[in-house]
Amino acid sequence: MRPHDHVGWIYQGGSEFAALAGPYLSEGAALGEKLVYIAEEPDPRDLSQLFSVVDPGAVQIASVAEIYGSDGIIDPPSQLALFMAVLADAKAAGYTGVRVAADSSSLVGDEKQMKAWIQWEIVADHATAGHDFTALCAFSKDKVREDMLRQIAAVHPLSSASGPIPQFRLFSDGAAMHVEGRVDAHAITQLRQRLEGEPEIGRASCRERV
pLDDT (0 to 100) of residue 185: 81
Task: Indicate the SS3 state at residue 173.
Answer: coil
| Residue stretches of the chain with pLDDT short of 50 | 202-206, 208-210
pLDDT (0 to 100) of residue 183: 85
103 - beta bridge partners? 138
Nearest Cα to Cα of residue 136 among 44, 40, 2: 2
Q: How many residues does the chain have?
A: 210
E strand segments, the chain? 6-11, 34-39, 59-63, 98-103, 133-140, 158-159, 168-172, 177-181, 204-208
**What is the per-residue pLDDT across 106-131, written as a single tens digit (0 to 9) for each?**
999 999 999 999 999 999 999 999 99
pLDDT (0 to 100) of residue 145: 94
Answering whether pTM is above 0.95, one says no
